Chain A
Amino acid sequence: MQYEIKHIHESIGVTVVYVTHDQGEALTMSNRIAVFNDGKVQQLSSPDQLYEKPVNSFVAEFIGENNTFAGEVYDISKDMCKVKVNGGEILANPISVKTKGEKTTVSIRPERALINPKSSMDNNHKGKIEEVIYHGDHTRVRLSLLGNSDFILKVPNSSENLDIKLGNTINIGWNSQDARALDPK
């Protein structure tokens, strides 16, 4: 039915204003999505922008999954900031933070964090595997990393056999561009 509505829209060109609280529906059907919370539009973007570039913690949390770290900015330039978190330091993309000392929540999509990254990434950390769940097309891995014991990774099952075993410690990397320093939750 989702696809039927989308096809009808494409074939007759009518303007559609669609309401849902199902993000899957919204992402597959829309040209643009307005995310509402408490009577206010939080973000108005195309589906890919919304998912990949959430502008605040509410949107990052509401759309898709994300790994979060609460911390404090201790150094900042135009396109990079250093955030002190419980177990160490993260290099992040300053989206909603402007000055040293600000509290922030850093958001990283699970698919942006890689195991044993081949190319160099500016964030590298050790994580301990706490849980492994097979999902057919991918394996979902829960790690404890930098004080966060709920850090989720999605490993495509086409990947070469990685050392994903309960209790193992593995190297995790991500790019600071993909770690978005947003408003504190």
Chain B
Amino acid sequence: MSKNKEFVKFEKVDKSYDGKILVVKDLNLDISEGEFITMLGPSGSGKTTCLMMLAGFETPTNGEIYLDKNPISNIPPHKRGIGMVFQNYALFPHMTVYENLAFPLRVRKISKDDADKKIDKALSMVSLSGFENRMPGQLSGGQQQRVAVARALVFDPSVVLMDEPLGALDKKFKRKHAI
């Protein structure tokens, strides 16, 4: 089976928050199934806005976004099969690692047995098996990021959106100014 070349499609998408200034202008972008695509650009260039429209937290001012050929406006957010790691990768601070990962599964009404298997698998993917009972506050910054990645993957989404998942590490700033 050949992969869908237009698994995600932005078609002539504009976005304005205030009805005056367009912060995203005429975005046309086809993303293939299984592709790793990066939006790169300076602060305020509209990257997060694009992710928010794809995830369904914002709607395009003009144009349409398609997911596997369906206009995204017709699919309720929890049925889009989209996992997200946010810019501040916020975990639920009062929940253990296990509970953080169980949350998106419970929303999707996955049985406890299946949920446990998926949580095991997701934690092992980010090399954090055995950390189930820790609270986020008991993890290093890098470990918290991994939990956020595991939480975004745990329900087997078809698309994962990652907004600066490594952003809180100072490495980035070193690298950016390195010569």
Contacts and interface: CB of A to CB of B under 8 A. Distances in A.
Contact of A20 (B38, B153, B161): B38
B162 A18 contact: yes
A30 B37 contact: yes
B95 interface: no
Interface string A138-164: 001000000000000000000000000
Contacts, number: 162
A33 B45 contact: no
A48 interface: no
Contacts of A40: 25-27
Contacts of A62: 40-42
A44 B146 CA distance: 28
A37 B153 contact: no
B104 interface: no
A65 B176 CA distance: 11
A39 B24 CA distance: 4
A8 B126 contact: yes
Residue from B7, B54, B163 with most neighbouring chain A CB atoms (10 Å): B163
B36 A16 contact: yes
Contact of B162 (A4, A16, A31, A140): A16
B141 to A, nearest CB: 10
Interface string A11-45: 11111111111111110011111111111111010
A140 B36 CA distance: 33
A15 B35 CA distance: 5
A36 B26 CA distance: 12
Interface of A: 1-2, 4-6, 8-9, 11-26, 29-42, 44, 62, 65, 135, 140
Given A14-B34, A31-B36, A44-B29, A20 B22 contact: no
A26 B162 CA distance: 12
A17 B142 contact: no
Interface of B is mostly: mixed
Interface size class of B (residues with CB under 8 A): 35 or more
Given A1-B142, A36-B46, A140-B179, A17 B39 contact: yes
Top 7 A-B pairs, shortest CB-CB distance: A36-B41, A36-B45, A30-B38, A26-B40, A39-B46, A26-B38, A19-B47
Contact of A2 (B33, B48, B54, B166): B166
Nearest to A135: B179
B59 interface: no
Interface string B40-65: 11110111101100100000000000
Given A29-B36, A36-B45, A39-B24, A15 B146 contact: no
Contact of A22 (B35, B163, B172): B172
B179 A65 contact: yes
A122 B156 CA distance: 55
B167 interface: yes
Contacts of B26: 40
Residue from A9, A15, A18, A23 with most neighbouring chain B CB atoms (10 Å): A15
Nearest to A33: B38
A32 B162 contact: no
Contacts of B157: 14
